[in-house]
Amino acid sequence: MDAASEFYEPLFATGPDTTPWRRLEVDGVRPVTLGGRAFLEVAPEVLTHLAEEAFFDVHHLFRPSHLRQLRAILDDPEASAADRFVALELLKNAVIAAGRRFPSCQDTGTAIVIAKKGEGVLTGGDDRAALSLGIARTYRERNLRYSQLAPLSMFEERNTGTNLPAQFHIEAVPGKEYRFLFVAKGGGSANKTFLFQETPRLLDPERLMTFLEEKIAYIGTTACPPYHLAVVIGGLSAEQTLETVKLASCRELDDLPTTGSPRGRAFRDPEWEARILETTRRLGIGAQFGGKYYCHDVRVIRLPRHGASLPVGIGVSCSADRQIRAKITEEGVFLERLEEDPARHLPEVEVEMGEAVPVDLRRPMDEIRATLSRLEVGTPVRLTGPMIVARDLAHKRIAERLRAGGDLPAWFRDHPIYYAGPAKAPEGHPSGSFGPTTAARMDPYVPEFQARGGALVTLAKGNRSRQVVESCRRHGGFYLATIGGAAARVGRDMIRKVEVVDFPELGMEAVWRIEVEDMPAFLVIDDKGHDFWETRVRVRVPMSAD
């Protein structure tokens, strides 16, 4: 044993690589000898091509394990009807996305590159620049959405138009291989990453379970469950805890040892994973509309810590479970092989959402509200007709108009408001992927708008705050939740027409008028002050404005 190994043990002692790979046909990798030492030379063009291919794949394909978990929900007799309906829609969405024209989610995310670069790999430049070029090409040339905002001042922002900048974390390691994890992280699930600075008193089984149950319920449904949940206990710093949360939610740490060591290695705790998973299934939150499948699985990672600190991190990977591995070795350039044929996971028999009530959105708003007023919260509905699409920046503009003495636009009073922002439309289709965004971000606007006769029927994903429940009761409003994570299915199969109505300069956040046909949703908040989560599920899912 040398002096270094006497004191050092890798923090993340992962096992052998079992990734299924596919080889990319790309030139630009060759062995070289310098000063009598062997190196692997990688041309910048290889990195560009690899990033372009990786982000194209990850927006259209899933890992087979993820799809098998969705199918398992359909086969589970204990799953609720809502669980099964959501799982089926997500599988159908995967089938559409695999056609490589509609991305699986309209929020095509922040591009994240986590890499381990062997000290024997030579690239001869700024790897981040070469990788960024590949990312920009994918977002520019495919039907993806630009979501990144550049701050021009403290309060003025502008869309970059490339989906850059990307987030990079490149670590130097021994060897002659370059390994990558490419992640497309949507805003909804990114906002469900939490850090809690606790004390060692939490390291008691009862206290820890009580704490985790509360915090996990707080995540709510806004990030499109079923989730891959990650819980990290400990960490030498806050940032290390949160980095580990991200890796665990991507299943990058699945083959860690299951016991600790005196020198402080990280480990998984299968017993606590099982306990927490069982707790999530008892919450009743389910796959968005009540049931058992709030989470597919749980990863619990224990890290070393400073004696005066106990950071705890919690995060999720959502139904848009988008990550893909890659590697560059002497043998060539490889990408993780994702599922090319998700249709093989579909059941032979259709799964229904229950007795759905048709709602004709072509009628006057008073008649639409009268129909909804006769229904109980939790009732499934099918929507057909026109809606107005408006989200964060449009709501801000409308609020500014009111403060300047103006009034609500007529279109904001006459139609239901859908909180969403589309991806680019494939040629020959009226719409691109067009799923809902998180309702809670618009909660502060609702009382003011409803008091003026606008936004009396809203449609989005996830739970809402008490102020929205009270506003709907006071002003006769309603909130409908549709399935989060099925944007390709909505865009291809349910939207018949899309046109810009206002604020075209906002790009995907412009105000749109769309026409939908047979779009599924559930009545979550009614005009009597009933909230589905309190009335039917008996769980209060706290609001979180992500």
Residue 545 confidence (pLDDT) above 50? no
One-letter-per-residue 3-state SS of 95-132: HHHCCCCCCCCCCCCEEEEEEEEECCEECCCCHHHHHH
Please indicate, yes or no, whether residues 306 and 347 belong to a single structural domain of this protein: no
Span 106-163, pLDDT tens digits: 999 999 999 999 999 999 889 999 999 999 999 999 999 999 999 999 999 999 999 9
- Which pLDDT score is estimated for 3? 63
- Which pLDDT score is estimated for 7? 79
Mean pLDDT of 197-212: 97
> How far apart (Å, rounded) are the C-alpha atoms in residues 223 and 437?
9
Amino acid identity, position 489:
R
Span 216-248, pLDDT tens digits: 999 999 899 999 999 999 999 999 999 999 999
Domain containing 67: what range? 17-184+320-351
Is 266 contained in some domain?
yes
Please indicate, yes or no, whether residues 301 and 382 belong to a single structural domain of this protein: no
- Which pLDDT score is estimated for 350? 74
Is 285 contained in some domain?
yes
What are residue 226's DSSP bridge partners?
A: none
Span 314-367, pLDDT tens digits: 999 999 999 999 999 999 999 999 999 999 999 987 776 668 999 999 999 999
The lowest-confidence range among 36-45, 90-99, 252-261, 528-537 is 528-537
Q: What is the dihedral of CA 218, 221, 222, 224, to 10 degrees?
A: 130
Per the structure, the count of domains in the chain is 3
Is 11 contained in some domain?
no
Please indicate, yes or no, whether residues 415 and 425 belong to a single structural domain of this protein: yes
Span 172-202, pLDDT tens digits: 999 999 999 999 999 989 999 999 999 999 9
Please indicate, yes or no, whether residues 408 and 269 belong to a single structural domain of this protein: no
- In the block, tokens 């910048």 appear at 44
For residue 112, the surrounding DSSP H or E stretch is strand 110-118
- Which pLDDT score is estimated for 539? 55
Q: Which of 298, 333, 351 is the last residue of a domain?
A: 351
Is 4 contained in some domain?
no
Please indicate, yes or no, whether residues 422 and 530 belong to a single structural domain of this protein: yes
- In the block, tokens 């990688």 appear at 42
- In the block, tokens 């960024």 appear at 132
Percent of the chain with pLDDT strictly greater than 70: 97
Q: Which residue, among 257, 210, 265, has the nearest Cα to 234 in the 3D structure?
A: 265
Is 440 contained in some domain?
yes
Is 97 contained in some domain?
yes
- Which pLDDT score is estimated for 543? 47
- The structure tokens listed for 288 are 């968005």
Mean pLDDT of 27-50: 96
Task: Find out whether 275 and 211 touch, Cβ atoms under 8 Å.
Answer: no
Residue 536 confidence (pLDDT) above 70? no
pTM: 0.93
516 CB-near residues (< 8 Å, 6+ apart):
361, 383, 384, 385, 387, 490, 494, 495, 496
Mean pLDDT of 80-89: 94
Please indicate, yes or no, whether residues 429 and 459 belong to a single structural domain of this protein: yes
Please indicate, yes or no, whether residues 412 and 524 belong to a single structural domain of this protein: yes
Maximum C-alpha span of the chain: 82
CB atoms closer than 10 angstroms to residue 36:
5
> How far apart (Å, rounded) are the C-alpha atoms in residues 541 and 544?
9
| Polymer length of the chain | 546
Q: Which residue, among 207, 194, 184, 182, has the nearest Cα to 241 in the 3D structure?
A: 194
Please indicate, yes or no, whether residues 426 and 413 belong to a single structural domain of this protein: yes
Q: Which of 309, 330, 351 is the last residue of a domain?
A: 351
> How far apart (Å, rounded) are the C-alpha atoms in residues 202 and 292?
27
Please indicate, yes or no, whether residues 23 and 170 belong to a single structural domain of this protein: yes
Please indicate, yes or no, whether residues 369 and 512 belong to a single structural domain of this protein: yes
Please indicate, yes or no, whether residues 278 and 201 belong to a single structural domain of this protein: yes
Is 9 contained in some domain?
no
Residue 39 confidence (pLDDT) above 50? yes
Q: Which residue, among 380, 401, 377, 411, has the nearest Cα to 502 in the 3D structure?
A: 411
Q: 283-322 burial, b for 16+ CB within 10 Å, e for fewer?
A: bbbbbbbbbbbbbbbbbbbbbebeeebbbbbbbbbbbbbb
Please indicate, yes or no, whether residues 77 and 194 belong to a single structural domain of this protein: no
Span 458-491, pLDDT tens digits: 999 998 999 999 999 999 999 999 999 999 999 9
Is 157 contained in some domain?
yes
